[in-house]
Amino acid sequence: MKEKTDPHDELLPNLFRSEYARITAVISRCFSLEHFETAEDIASETFLKAAEVWSVNGVPENPRAWLYTVAKNKAKDYLKRVSIFEMKVKGEIELEESYRTESLSQSERDIVFTEQAIADSQLAMIFAVCNPANSTEAQISLALQILCGFSIEQIANAFLAKTETIKKRLLRARTNLRNDNFRIDVLKEDAVQSRVDVVLRTLYLLFNEGYSSQSGNRLISKDLCLEAIRLTLVLTDNPLTNTPEVNALLALMCYQASRLDARTDDTGQMILFEQQDRSLWNQEFIDKGIYYLVNACSGNEISKYHLEAAIAYWHTTPADNDKWEHILQLYNQLIITEYSPATALNRTFALAKVCGNERGIREAELVALYGNHYYHALLGYLYADIDVDKSIAHYEEAISSTRSMAEKKNLAKELERLTRVKTGS
């Protein structure tokens, strides 16, 4: 045992983030059932017990192994209780009983927390959760909650939606899953075909949630990104899911991840792209990005992930005359393929780089995303050398509309600079 540690420090919350979903996935799959909420209860109870025991006895040598053992025992206890209940109540039906006992002992044997078992369970789980019985948004919300252990607040941030909306959406989605005989099966080709789009979108959102984390906590942010990469790697490891599109998504993640250490300083403050210390970019990730992007180009398919990966590739190259022209053309294709507010704003930024800030302002104002802090930050940036009053007004609007402290700080710094410019001091 290590020395006694306060369980309310960062360890337990971080473990909860990474292990809650794993424990739920492994147990759910072993139950072979629609009772994934029981698995969630077991995972919750496991963490409750950890909080109690660790505050008295200190944190165990290997906290993950401790959690897995407790969860496994709780799952076995549950199965035993169910089994006794089944025998007493339904004992007279011999055939069914012997079948059940057999399948239960089978389940008990299967509760293992090896890396492989965790990966397989999570992949099977996400394909099960992404059920076409739910709307795309509901599938994503649900997968983020069950597979990735996202809180309702984090899901709301990822969707730029109200927490109340997400809460209702999750309740409805869970009901739909139950009504649709939710099962976690071995992956089959048709399930992959019909669901891979939603699965990829979920992983993409998971990565973005980490990459642009509202928390401003570098560790959590990195953890989420690496989690998304790990899950996507599970897809490339499986021949059924190792498609050009999956490789493109992985390339995108690797390029973005290469900048994780460069984009915040030691106090968690965001460093804008142009001011980043490029020696902090992780060359290993950039090389992996190139590797997966080459893999992604093995077919004729150009998905939005191909376009975004190509944009991320250009960002890793030194500035030359054509760089922004390439980026603009890729954003043009991307926005025509699929609208999103973030793409619209990024595309406008690239347009301003190529065609000048005045044209940028004209098109940015047409994009008209009032109340979106990126929108106001973009206009603040574009107006800075053209109309300082308008620039200041937009930065103020941006500060009041973002919930992220890290971004508030960054925007305030720029606002301060502009105010100095204005007063001539």
**Which residues are near other proteins by CB under 8 A?**
328-329, 331-333, 335-336, 339, 343-344, 347-348, 351, 355, 363, 366-368
How far apart are the C-alpha atoms of 274 and 14, rounded to whole Å? 31
Q: Please, what is the minimum distance in Å from the beta carbon of residue 210 to other proteins?
A: 26
The CA angle 217-221-222, to the nearest 5 degrees, is 120
Structure tokens at 29: 């799959």
Nearest approach in angstroms of CB 304 to other proteins is: 13
Q: Which is nearer to other proteins, 354 or 421 (CB)?
A: 354
Candidates 276, 257, 260, 277; CA nearest to 217 is 260
Nearer to other proteins, 104 or 364 (CB): 364
- Taking the complex as a whole, how short is the minimal distance between the CB of residue 184 and other proteins, in angstroms? 33
Based on CB atoms, which residue is closest to other proteins, 55 or 333?
Answer: 333
Sequence-ordered list of residues with C-beta below 8 angstroms from that of 196, at least 6 positions apart, any chain: 241, 243, 245, 246
| H helices, E strands: number in the chain | 19, 0
Tokens 């401790």 appear where? 66
Closer Cβ to other proteins, 37 or 325, answer by number: 325
Nearer to other proteins, 290 or 335 (CB): 335
**CB neighbourhood size of 267 (10 A):** 9
Nearest approach in angstroms of CB 351 to other proteins is 7
Cα separation of 175 and 172, whole Å?
5
Q: Is 234 helix (H, G, I), strand (E, B) or coil?
A: helix
State the residue for tokens 């106090």: 267
Closest separation in Å from C-beta 69 to other proteins: 51
Residue 355 Cβ vs other proteins, minimum distance, rounded to whole Å: 8
Residue from 45, 27, 44 nearest 36 by CA: 27
Residue 358 Cβ vs other proteins, minimum distance, rounded to whole Å: 15
Judged by CB, which is closer to other proteins: 339, or 370? 339
Q: Which is nearer to other proteins, 182 or 331 (CB)?
A: 331
Give the span between the Cα atoms of 185 and 232, in whole angstroms.
19
